[in-house]
Structure 1
Amino acid sequence: MAFTHDTEAALVAAVELVNSAESPETMTTTDDLADFFVRHGYTGTLLGNDGELEAVRALRPGLRALLTSSRDDAVPIVNRILADAEAVPQLVRHGAVDWHLHATEDDRPLHTRMVVETAMAMIDAIRADELSRFGICAADDCEALVLDLSRNRSRRFCSTTCGNREAVAAYRARQSQ
């Protein structure tokens, strides 16, 4: 299953945002937020202040619940997010990015734009029955989310670090036998 560019980008950003709450926490400063904003290609206003940072950080538990929910449980969450934001999907094109959906105006608060973009992306995942692409890292000591966009659905770890740590542990266990 290949998602559209904007869907994939929003899902990748949402997973990274949720995982930023895991130890060690990574979304701790306004500079971290600005880097995240640029890295994930968000458009519109970035205030870059502590209030905006806290509003974005406050999204993490709700997004985690959404991204780890069943298909039927995700639907009312998505519908509530879109209704609360008074989202009105429209096609837009800007910069190097071809036609894609935005459902809020660029002057809305960043946290609103982020949660609405995630909800819009989840619509595609729900309609395609692809929520199995989300999971929890297979590493014993990690609770981070995994978004598996691979063709063969083989991704088990949230990062190379977790995968390597588990491989080393398995190797050492085999060597000690």
Structure 2
Amino acid sequence: MRFAHDTESGLVAAAGLVNTAGPDREGLPDVAALDAFITAHGWTGRHEHTDAELREVRALRPRLRRIWYADVDEVVAIVNGLLRESRALPQLIRHDDEPYHVHAVPRDAPLATRMAVEAAMALADLIRMGELSRLRICAHPDCDNVLVDLSKNRCRRFCDAGCGNRAAVSAYRARKAAAHS
């Protein structure tokens, strides 16, 4: 199943944002890292380049992370809360050579608000389509990253941090060791 461009980019950006935080890592240590994240995920509109904005974006991460562990009713409650708090008002818009897509807050809304609403709108599409199972936790035992499986056959198991390669190497080494035993 193929999702709309804004749905896919919203889901990927939400997962990317969640993965910037973990028990032993801070992927957004400063405003420069936030700038790089924004560029990597194609965010447009207002960006203040301040520590306050960085704190607001960081504060969004635990709430989004919860979505990957929640049942559908809790995901709906989180999504509705994000949309309500942000006073979302969906509108079709076109910019930066992108086709028409939905923005639910103005481009000059605070960055954390826009991130929250983009994630919520993308998640609303998943919920409506019965596709929440595409939200997964990385299958590597030493990783707590989240991922969005946008593959056609729903087979993605590992995040983008190299866990799939590590798992393949471990399996190869185990097979080699078993063959030599």
TM-score class, shorter: over 0.9
2:109 corresponds to 1:108: yes
**Structure-1 separation of matches of 2:69 and 2:122:** 14
Q: Tell me which amino acid in the other structure corresponds to 1:134.
A: L
**Structure-1 separation of matches of 2:161 and 2:58:** 24
Whether contact under 8 Å (1:102, 1:117) holds in the other structure is yes
Compute the TM-score of the two structures, normalised by the length of structure 2.
Answer: 0.93
The C-alpha deviation readout for 1:8-40, integer Å capped at 9, x for no partner, is 000000000001113443221211111111222
- State which drifts further: 71-80 or 126-135: 71-80
Q: Tell me which amino acid in the other structure corresponds to 2:2.
A: A
Q: Tell me which amino acid in the other structure corresponds to 2:4.
A: T
The C-alpha deviation readout for 1:58-93, integer Å capped at 9, x for no partner, is 111100112332222211111111111111111111
**Structure-2 separation of matches of 1:11 and 1:123:** 10
Q: Tell me which amino acid in the other structure corresponds to 1:90.
A: Q
**Structure-1 separation of matches of 2:91 and 2:12:** 21
SS in 2 for 1:172: helix
| Percent sequence identity over aligned pairs | 51
The C-alpha deviation readout for 1:70-127, integer Å capped at 9, x for no partner, is 2222111111111111111111111211111111112211001100110011110000
Whether contact under 8 Å (1:137, 1:156) holds in the other structure is yes
**Structure-2 separation of matches of 1:145 and 1:100:** 25
Aligned residues: 177
**Structure-2 separation of matches of 1:66 and 1:36:** 21
Q: Tell me which amino acid in the other structure corresponds to 1:96.
A: D
**Structure-2 separation of matches of 1:89 and 1:175:** 55
Query: What's the counterpart of residue 144 of structure 2?
Result: 143
Whether contact under 8 Å (2:82, 2:120) holds in the other structure is yes
Query: What's the counterpart of residue 69 of structure 2?
Result: 68
SS in 1 for 2:123: helix
- What is the Cα deviation at residue 160 of structure 1? 5.7
**Structure-2 separation of matches of 1:155 and 1:30:** 32
Query: What's the counterpart of residue 19 of structure 1?
Result: 19
SS in 2 for 1:37: helix
Query: What's the counterpart of residue 8 of structure 1?
Result: 8
Provide runs of 4+ in structure 1 moved above 4 Å. Answer: none
**Structure-2 separation of matches of 1:101 and 1:45:** 17
Where do 5+ consecutive residues of structure 2 fail to align? none
Whether contact under 8 Å (1:71, 1:129) holds in the other structure is no
SS in 1 for 2:136: strand
Q: Tell me which amino acid in the other structure corresponds to 2:160.
A: S
Across the aligned residues of Structure 1 and Structure 2, the Cα RMSD in angstroms comes to 1.3
SS in 2 for 1:135: strand
Where do 5+ consecutive residues of structure 1 fail to align? none
**Structure-1 separation of matches of 2:95 and 2:39:** 15
Q: Tell me which amino acid in the other structure corresponds to 1:47.
A: E
- What is the Cα deviation at residue 175 of structure 1? 2.0
